[in-house]
Amino acid sequence: MITRKVMQMSNSSFIVTLPKDWADFNGLIKGDLINFEESGNDLIIKSKKEKETEVKLDLTDMSYDLVWRHLVCAYRKGATKVIVKYGSKENLNHAMEFVRDLMGWAIVKKDKEKIIIQDLISVEKTDFDDAFKRVFLLVLNMSEEILEGLSKQDEAILENVPYSDYNINKFTNLCLRILNLKSANYSKNNSLYKIISTLEEIGDEYRKLAIFYKPGKLSDELVNFFERINILLKDYYEMFYNFNSKRLKEFYESTDVLLKDLKKFKKTSLTETRTFSTLFTIFHMIKGLTEENLLINI
């Protein structure tokens, strides 16, 4: 830990010198601007100059899934330049396909052995709150789409679900990238990371209902459970942006009532069993999110 003495310049100003090693590492010179960010009792100093974060990936002999996981993890971590050794034409095609899904990234160079991916959109210019709210709204919209598609047995509506899931994943990855690069409030950062990741998983669960759909009318009771779980998700969204003890208490009371009713439900077909199981999983995911709200607001 580096210690500095606070010096008083005037009745309203104090001066603290910056460590030279830190200033040199961030390329600061006389006249440069720096940012101050408050986090409880801490004052965080951030250089305005963005440093390039380079990552090298060897994807030779990697499977389709591992190509994606390497790229998305580098993206979420905040890499601004990625040098990818692709190994085969197949993996090159996979990498080029995946990069299109990672907002801000673009392939700027390609040769016989590698591609170079560069970040073309500064995270500093990207608003986290807007991207985060977009994830919430996309998941809420998907929940309503699937309920309508299943209750009306409308396959045309259900066929659009993969596109909604694609957008959820795109904005989820962007949010996690911004958190890793910009956030200085580490306690809040961890909770937001968990909420965003869980919202993505909830979207995946809703998507399953559309993917594994088989023609057949759902019972009125199951449709009612679907509606109530969607309402619960909306209630959580509203509570996140306007958190208070009264809302939390009402939220838990409604989950207790819904859980009792869910436990009484008797499945009459394989389709209902699968649908109910997925809805039950979504219910517990939504309920679990409230712990992160408490961590942020206590």
What CATH number is given to the structural domain containing 210? 1.20.58.220
Residues 71 and 186 in one domain: no
Residue 19 covered by a domain: yes
Residue 1 covered by a domain: no
Residues 235 and 97 in one domain: no
Q: What is the pLDDT of residue 216?
A: 73
Residues 189 and 65 in one domain: no
Residue 221 covered by a domain: yes
What is the DSSP pairing of strand 14-15 with strand 34-39? unpaired
Residues 151 and 60 in one domain: no
Residue 82 covered by a domain: yes
CA atoms within 13 A on the CB side of 224: 7
Q: Indicate the residue among 71, 105, 121 that finishes a domain.
A: 121
Residues 260 and 285 in one domain: yes
Residue 92: exposure state from Cβ atoms within 10 A (0-12, 13-18, ≥19): buried
Residue 169 covered by a domain: yes
CA distance 263 to 89: 52
Q: What is the pLDDT of residue 218?
A: 82
Q: Indicate the residue among 89, 121, 153 that finishes a domain.
A: 121
Residues 147 and 273 in one domain: yes
Residue 159 covered by a domain: yes
Q: What is the pLDDT of residue 42?
A: 65
Residue 104 covered by a domain: yes
Residues 286 and 249 in one domain: yes
Question: What's 66's domain CATH number?
Answer: 3.30.1370.110
Q: What is the pLDDT of residue 127?
A: 86
Identify the bridge partners of residue 109 per DSSP, sorted by sequence position: 116
Residue 2 covered by a domain: no
Residues 84 and 213 in one domain: no
Tokens for 166?
């694609």
Separation in Å, CA 226 to CA 102, 212, 239, 272 = 32, 16, 20, 12
CA distance 298 to 9: 37
Q: What is the pLDDT of residue 7?
A: 76
Find the domain containing 98 and state its range: 54-121
Residues 181 and 259 in one domain: yes
212 in Cβ contact with 276 (< 8 Å): no
CA distance 105 to 173: 12
Residues 278 and 138 in one domain: yes
Residues 117 and 149 in one domain: no
Q: Indicate the residue among 121, 138, 161 that finishes a domain.
A: 121
222 in Cβ contact with 265 (< 8 Å): yes
Q: For each of the chain's 298 residues, which pLDDT tens digit applies? A: 677 777 777 666 778 787 776 676 566 777 777 767 665 556 666 665 556 688 999 999 899 999 999 999 999 998 999 999 999 999 999 999 999 889 999 999 999 999 999 998 877 678 889 999 999 999 999 999 999 998 888 888 888 898 999 999 999 999 999 988 876 555 688 899 999 999 999 999 999 998 887 777 788 999 999 999 999 999 999 999 999 999 999 999 999 999 999 999 987 788 888 899 999 999 999 999 998 888 888 7
When divided into structural domains, the chain yields a total of: 3
Q: What is the pLDDT of residue 198?
A: 96
Model pTM score? 0.79
CA atoms within 13 A on the CB side of 58: 2
Residues 33 and 141 in one domain: no
Q: What is the pLDDT of residue 13?
A: 74
